[in-house]
């Protein structure tokens, strides 16, 4: 067991930004908009760093797929304590079509290449809300998975994962190597402090192309349109019950 943790981090529009749909309905406005690390990815990085600090893991590698700007996101992960980074270069049309299936193929290839014992990702990204990457990665690797983790502890040669499910909490024990997806209550991520940001500038970020990993990026999905939800209409006040009944009939509700 190598004791290497691979953490996936995604660069998304900052959660505090008001999203606007592009007039041509092909997507949302991203130019000039503040981006930051997906909040669930922050939790994943924090958990990985804590495992290394407890000396249960030896090295934390932060991975991000996308254009040049993703390196900023990797740097944040390095400032939080990751040891090195891997930037998988994807840009243009390929980046627009990048989805969980493509990312999970990349993560699986990297997990094998780096001989990782553990892959941790956020349970979902706040832009796609797909909640698929972790699960697909585990399937491609044929590794066990502990998803929606609210607590992770090492148990012999495996992990004990407390999962947040609809009915409450579920405890599972999975053998390593494994995939874990981080849920909200797993931990409170640390802030990147100035000294750590300075140190992070010296840590290495390797660049690779998906082709180098033998991953093919074509998407089977085509986005037809992105639209605003319908505007809320104002209500109508009526004077009497008779009016109400008439209006309900006219609108076809009755």
Partner 1 sequence: MTFNWVQRTSKLSRWQGAFQSCIFSCKRYSVQEQCRVPSSVVEAFRAVTGSDGVSMGTAVREQHGKDESVHSCRPPDVVVWPRSVEEVSALARLCHQHSLPMIPFGTGTGLEGGVGALKGGVCFDLQKMDRVLDFHAEDFDVTVEPGVTRTGLNSYLRDSGLWFPVDPGADASLCGMAATSASGTNAVRYGTMRENVMNLEVVLSDGTIVHTAGKGRRTRKTAAGYNLTNLFVGSEGTLGIITKATLRLYGIPEAVVSAVCSFSSVQAAVDSTVQILQCGIPIARIEFLDDVMIDACNRYSKLSYPVSPTLFLEFHGSERSLEEQVSLAEEITKANSGLDFIWAKDQETRSRLWKARHDAWYAALAIRPRCKAYSTDVCVPISRLPQIIVETKQDLTQNRLTGPIAGHVGDGNFHCLMVLDPTDPDEVQRVQEFTDRLARRALAMDGTCTGEHGVGLGKRALLREEVGPLCMGVMEGVKASLDPQNLMNPGKVL
Q: Specify the stretch interacting with partner 1 by CB under 8 A; choose among 30-38, 109-117, 149-157, 205-213.
A: 30-38
- Name the token pair of 242: 């008779």
SS3 letters across 110-152: HHHHCCCCEEEEECCCCCCCCCCHHHHHHHHHCCCEEEEEEEE
Longest dimension (CA), the chain: 76
- Interactions with partner 1, residue window 107-126 (CB under 8 A): none
Strands 4-8 and 118-122, how do they pair?
parallel
CA 7 – CA 29 distance, rounded (Å): 28
Shortest CB 73 distance to partner 1, Å:
9
CA 61 – CA 7 distance, rounded (Å): 6
Residue 79 binds partner 1, judged by CB under 8 A: yes
User: Cβ atoms within 10 A of the Cβ of 193, count?
Assistant: 11
Residue 18 DSSP SS3? coil
- Interactions with partner 1, residue window 140-179 (CB under 8 A): none
User: Cβ atoms within 10 A of the Cβ of 101, count?
Assistant: 18
- Interactions with partner 1, residue window 174-193 (CB under 8 A): 188, 190-193
Q: Specify the stretch interacting with partner 1 by CB under 8 A; choose among 61-69, 195-203, 220-228, 230-238.
A: 195-203
Q: Specify the stretch interacting with partner 1 by CB under 8 A; choose among 29-37, 119-127, 171-179, 225-233.
A: 29-37
The one among 38, 64, 71, 76 contacting partner 1 by CB under 8 A: 76
The interface mask with partner 1, positions 4-23, x = CB under 8 A, is ----------x-x-------
The one among 30, 36, 97, 150 contacting partner 1 by CB under 8 A: 36
Give kind and range of the element (H or E) at residue 242.
Answer: helix 241-250
Residue 41 binds partner 1, judged by CB under 8 A: no
Shortest CB 56 distance to partner 1, Å:
16
Considering the complex, state which of residue 114 and residue 183 has its C-beta at the smaller distance from partner 1: 183
Strands 145-155 and 158-165, how do they pair?
antiparallel
Considering the complex, state which of residue 45 and residue 217 has its C-beta at the smaller distance from partner 1: 45
Q: Which residues bind partner 1 (CB under 8 A)?
A: 14, 16, 34, 36-37, 76, 79, 188, 190-197
């Amino acid at each position: 067991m190598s004791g290497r943790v691979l953490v996936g981090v995604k660069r998304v529009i900052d959660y505090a930004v008001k999203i606007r749909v592009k007039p041509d309905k092909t997507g949302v406005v991203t130019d000039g908009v503040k981006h930051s690390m997906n909040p669930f990815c922050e939790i994943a990085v924090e958990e990985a760093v804590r495992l290394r600090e407890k000396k249960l893991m030896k090295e934390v590698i932060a991975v991000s797929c996308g254009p040049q700007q993703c390196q900023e996101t990797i740097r944040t992960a390095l400032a939080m304590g990751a040891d090195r980074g891997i930037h998988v270069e994807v840009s243009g049309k390929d980046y627009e079509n990048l989805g969980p299936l493509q990312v999970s193929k990349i993560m699986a290839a990297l997990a094998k290449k780096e001989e990782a014992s553990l892959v941790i990702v956020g349970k979902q990204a706040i832009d796609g809300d797909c909640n698929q990457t972790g699960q697909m990665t585990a399937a491609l690797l044929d590794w066990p998975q502990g998803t929606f983790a609210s607590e992770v502890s090492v148990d012999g040669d495996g992990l004990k994962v407390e999962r947040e499910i609809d009915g409450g909490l579920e405890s599972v024990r999975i053998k390593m190597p494994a995939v874990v997806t981080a849920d909200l209550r797993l931990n409170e991520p640390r802030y990147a402090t100035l000294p750590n940001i300075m140190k992070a500038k010296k840590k290495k970020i390797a660049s690779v192309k998906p082709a180098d990993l033998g991953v093919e990026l074509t998407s089977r999905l085509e986005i037809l349109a992105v639209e605003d939800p319908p505007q809320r209409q104002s209500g109508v006040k009526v004077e009497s019950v008779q009016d109400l009944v008439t209006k309900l009939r006219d609108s076809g509700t009755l």
